[in-house]
Amino acid sequence: MIFSWPGEDLFEHGRDVALIGECLFPEETRYYNALLNELENQDNNWWRVAAALHDIGKAHKKFQATIGRKPSFICHELLSALYIWEALEASPKIRAAVALTVLLHHHAMDRFETCIKSVKGFETADGFTDYVSRFSKWLGVGIRPIENISADIGALKRWIDQRIYRIAVIGVGPIAVADHVAAARRGGYSSRLLEELKHEIRGRLEKCKAI
Protein backbone atom coordinates (compact mmCIF):
# COMPACT_ATOMS: atom_id res chain seq x y z
CA MET A 1 0.00 0.00 0.00
CA ILE A 2 1.06 3.57 -0.69
CA PHE A 3 -0.01 5.84 2.13
CA SER A 4 -1.21 9.43 2.23
CA TRP A 5 -1.00 9.17 6.02
CA PRO A 6 -0.38 6.23 8.39
CA GLY A 7 -3.23 3.78 7.79
CA GLU A 8 -4.72 5.83 4.94
CA ASP A 9 -4.51 4.67 1.32
CA LEU A 10 -3.34 7.29 -1.18
CA PHE A 11 -5.97 6.49 -3.79
CA GLU A 12 -8.84 6.38 -1.32
CA HIS A 13 -7.78 9.69 0.24
CA GLY A 14 -7.56 11.41 -3.15
CA ARG A 15 -10.96 10.07 -4.19
CA ASP A 16 -12.52 11.13 -0.87
CA VAL A 17 -11.13 14.66 -1.09
CA ALA A 18 -12.49 14.99 -4.64
CA LEU A 19 -15.98 13.77 -3.72
CA ILE A 20 -16.14 15.82 -0.51
CA GLY A 21 -15.01 18.96 -2.33
CA GLU A 22 -17.55 18.53 -5.11
CA CYS A 23 -20.31 18.06 -2.56
CA LEU A 24 -19.31 21.05 -0.42
CA PHE A 25 -18.51 23.41 -3.30
CA PRO A 26 -20.54 22.42 -6.38
CA GLU A 27 -20.71 25.93 -7.86
CA GLU A 28 -17.00 26.63 -7.42
CA THR A 29 -15.86 23.32 -8.89
CA ARG A 30 -18.24 23.66 -11.86
CA TYR A 31 -16.98 27.19 -12.50
CA TYR A 32 -13.35 26.02 -12.39
CA ASN A 33 -14.13 23.28 -14.92
CA ALA A 34 -16.09 25.64 -17.17
CA LEU A 35 -13.20 28.09 -17.34
CA LEU A 36 -10.63 25.42 -18.10
CA ASN A 37 -12.79 23.63 -20.65
CA GLU A 38 -13.53 26.94 -22.38
CA LEU A 39 -9.81 27.68 -22.44
CA GLU A 40 -9.06 24.60 -24.55
CA ASN A 41 -12.53 23.66 -25.89
CA GLN A 42 -12.65 20.45 -23.85
CA ASP A 43 -15.16 18.82 -21.53
CA ASN A 44 -13.48 17.21 -18.52
CA ASN A 45 -13.75 17.42 -14.75
CA TRP A 46 -10.33 18.97 -14.23
CA TRP A 47 -11.06 20.03 -10.66
CA ARG A 48 -11.65 16.38 -9.74
CA VAL A 49 -8.29 15.54 -11.33
CA ALA A 50 -6.53 18.19 -9.22
CA ALA A 51 -8.27 17.07 -6.03
CA ALA A 52 -7.66 13.37 -6.57
CA LEU A 53 -3.97 13.87 -7.38
CA HIS A 54 -3.23 16.58 -4.81
CA ASP A 55 -1.16 14.19 -2.67
CA ILE A 56 0.38 12.02 -5.37
CA GLY A 57 3.78 13.48 -4.48
CA LYS A 58 3.56 11.54 -1.22
CA ALA A 59 4.29 8.42 -3.25
CA HIS A 60 7.97 9.46 -3.20
CA LYS A 61 10.06 6.64 -1.73
CA LYS A 62 11.61 8.85 0.93
CA PHE A 63 8.18 9.94 2.19
CA GLN A 64 6.83 6.39 2.32
CA ALA A 65 9.88 5.33 4.32
CA THR A 66 8.77 7.65 7.16
CA ILE A 67 5.31 6.10 7.57
CA GLY A 68 6.36 3.63 10.26
CA ARG A 69 8.07 6.36 12.25
CA LYS A 70 7.17 10.06 12.27
CA PRO A 71 5.58 10.76 8.87
CA SER A 72 7.14 13.62 6.95
CA PHE A 73 5.76 14.94 3.66
CA ILE A 74 7.38 18.38 3.48
CA CYS A 75 7.26 19.74 -0.08
CA HIS A 76 5.02 16.92 -1.31
CA GLU A 77 2.76 19.47 -3.02
CA LEU A 78 5.67 20.52 -5.25
CA LEU A 79 6.25 16.90 -6.26
CA SER A 80 2.52 16.43 -6.86
CA ALA A 81 2.48 19.49 -9.14
CA LEU A 82 5.58 18.36 -11.03
CA TYR A 83 4.12 14.90 -11.56
CA ILE A 84 0.85 16.30 -12.90
CA TRP A 85 2.76 18.60 -15.23
CA GLU A 86 4.83 15.73 -16.61
CA ALA A 87 2.31 12.87 -16.58
CA LEU A 88 -1.19 14.23 -17.22
CA GLU A 89 -2.24 13.69 -20.83
CA ALA A 90 -3.66 17.13 -21.58
CA SER A 91 -2.64 20.39 -23.20
CA PRO A 92 0.10 22.50 -21.58
CA LYS A 93 -2.43 25.11 -20.40
CA ILE A 94 -4.61 22.48 -18.73
CA ARG A 95 -1.61 20.77 -17.14
CA ALA A 96 -0.27 24.11 -15.90
CA ALA A 97 -3.59 25.11 -14.31
CA VAL A 98 -4.15 21.74 -12.62
CA ALA A 99 -0.54 21.56 -11.43
CA LEU A 100 -0.66 25.11 -10.03
CA THR A 101 -3.95 24.36 -8.23
CA VAL A 102 -2.26 21.44 -6.50
CA LEU A 103 0.92 23.40 -5.77
CA LEU A 104 -1.11 26.02 -3.89
CA HIS A 105 -3.25 23.64 -1.81
CA HIS A 106 -0.95 23.64 1.23
CA HIS A 107 1.92 25.95 2.13
CA ALA A 108 4.20 25.50 -0.86
CA MET A 109 4.37 29.17 -1.71
CA ASP A 110 5.60 29.98 1.79
CA ARG A 111 8.54 27.63 1.33
CA PHE A 112 8.78 27.58 -2.45
CA GLU A 113 12.45 28.49 -2.77
CA THR A 114 13.38 26.05 0.00
CA CYS A 115 11.48 23.24 -1.74
CA ILE A 116 13.07 24.00 -5.10
CA LYS A 117 16.53 23.82 -3.56
CA SER A 118 15.94 20.76 -1.40
CA VAL A 119 13.83 18.53 -3.66
CA LYS A 120 16.08 16.83 -6.19
CA GLY A 121 13.52 14.59 -7.87
CA PHE A 122 10.58 12.24 -7.49
CA GLU A 123 11.44 8.56 -7.16
CA THR A 124 8.20 6.63 -6.83
CA ALA A 125 7.47 3.88 -4.32
CA ASP A 126 6.81 0.26 -5.25
CA GLY A 127 3.35 -0.31 -6.66
CA PHE A 128 3.05 3.24 -8.00
CA THR A 129 2.12 2.15 -11.52
CA ASP A 130 -0.98 0.40 -10.19
CA TYR A 131 -2.02 3.55 -8.33
CA VAL A 132 -1.64 5.66 -11.45
CA SER A 133 -3.80 3.17 -13.34
CA ARG A 134 -6.50 3.35 -10.65
CA PHE A 135 -6.50 7.14 -10.67
CA SER A 136 -6.57 7.25 -14.47
CA LYS A 137 -9.50 4.83 -14.69
CA TRP A 138 -11.52 6.61 -11.99
CA LEU A 139 -10.86 10.08 -13.41
CA GLY A 140 -11.32 9.10 -17.05
CA VAL A 141 -8.11 10.83 -18.14
CA GLY A 142 -4.74 9.61 -19.32
CA ILE A 143 -1.93 9.68 -16.76
CA ARG A 144 1.47 8.31 -17.69
CA PRO A 145 3.11 6.10 -15.02
CA ILE A 146 6.46 7.91 -14.85
CA GLU A 147 8.68 6.49 -12.10
CA ASN A 148 11.36 9.19 -11.92
CA ILE A 149 10.89 12.93 -12.39
CA SER A 150 13.47 15.67 -11.99
CA ALA A 151 12.59 18.73 -9.91
CA ASP A 152 12.64 21.12 -12.87
CA ILE A 153 9.80 23.58 -12.53
CA GLY A 154 11.00 25.91 -15.25
CA ALA A 155 8.81 24.49 -18.04
CA LEU A 156 5.70 24.64 -15.83
CA LYS A 157 6.38 28.25 -14.80
CA ARG A 158 6.62 29.35 -18.44
CA TRP A 159 2.99 28.35 -19.02
CA ILE A 160 1.56 30.15 -15.98
CA ASP A 161 0.09 33.51 -16.88
CA GLN A 162 -2.51 35.67 -15.11
CA ARG A 163 -5.45 33.76 -16.59
CA ILE A 164 -4.06 30.37 -15.56
CA TYR A 165 -3.30 31.72 -12.08
CA ARG A 166 -6.80 33.10 -11.60
CA ILE A 167 -8.41 29.81 -12.63
CA ALA A 168 -6.10 27.85 -10.33
CA VAL A 169 -6.94 30.03 -7.33
CA ILE A 170 -10.65 29.21 -7.75
CA GLY A 171 -9.87 25.52 -7.31
CA VAL A 172 -7.54 25.80 -4.34
CA GLY A 173 -10.06 26.58 -1.58
CA PRO A 174 -12.32 23.56 -2.18
CA ILE A 175 -9.31 21.22 -2.16
CA ALA A 176 -7.88 22.71 1.03
CA VAL A 177 -11.21 22.51 2.88
CA ALA A 178 -12.03 19.00 1.64
CA ASP A 179 -8.54 17.86 2.67
CA HIS A 180 -9.14 19.20 6.20
CA VAL A 181 -12.54 17.48 6.37
CA ALA A 182 -11.02 14.18 5.26
CA ALA A 183 -8.23 14.51 7.85
CA ALA A 184 -10.73 15.16 10.64
CA ARG A 185 -12.75 12.10 9.61
CA ARG A 186 -9.78 9.80 9.94
CA GLY A 187 -9.31 11.07 13.50
CA GLY A 188 -6.69 13.62 12.63
CA TYR A 189 -6.27 17.14 13.91
CA SER A 190 -9.41 19.27 13.60
CA SER A 191 -7.82 22.49 12.38
CA ARG A 192 -8.87 25.99 13.29
CA LEU A 193 -9.93 26.42 9.67
CA LEU A 194 -12.31 23.49 9.91
CA GLU A 195 -13.68 24.60 13.27
CA GLU A 196 -14.48 28.03 11.81
CA LEU A 197 -15.99 26.52 8.69
CA LYS A 198 -18.31 24.36 10.77
CA HIS A 199 -20.14 27.55 11.67
CA GLU A 200 -20.09 29.00 8.16
CA ILE A 201 -21.10 25.95 6.12
CA ARG A 202 -22.71 23.69 8.72
CA GLY A 203 -25.55 22.81 6.37
CA ARG A 204 -23.20 21.73 3.60
CA LEU A 205 -21.09 19.65 5.99
CA GLU A 206 -24.20 17.83 7.23
CA LYS A 207 -25.40 17.18 3.67
CA CYS A 208 -22.03 15.72 2.65
CA LYS A 209 -21.47 13.66 5.80
CA ALA A 210 -22.35 10.38 4.08
CA ILE A 211 -19.49 10.57 1.55
46-56 tens-digit pLDDT: 999 999 999 99
- pLDDT value at residue 110: 58
- pLDDT score of 203: 73
Q: Which residues, 6 or more positions from 117, have their beta carbon under 8 angstroms from its beta carbon?
A: none
In terms of pLDDT, which residue wins out, 113 or 126?
Answer: 126
- Is residue 123 classed as helix, strand or coil in its secondary structure? strand
User: What pLDDT is attached to residue 16?
Assistant: 95
Mean pLDDT of 160-179: 93
Instruction: Give the pLDDT score at 111.
Output: 63
- CA dihedral sign, ordered 192, 194, 196, 199: negative
Lowest-pLDDT range of 100-104, 122-126, 132-136, 197-201? 197-201
Angle between helices 162-185 and 10-24 (to 10 degrees): 110
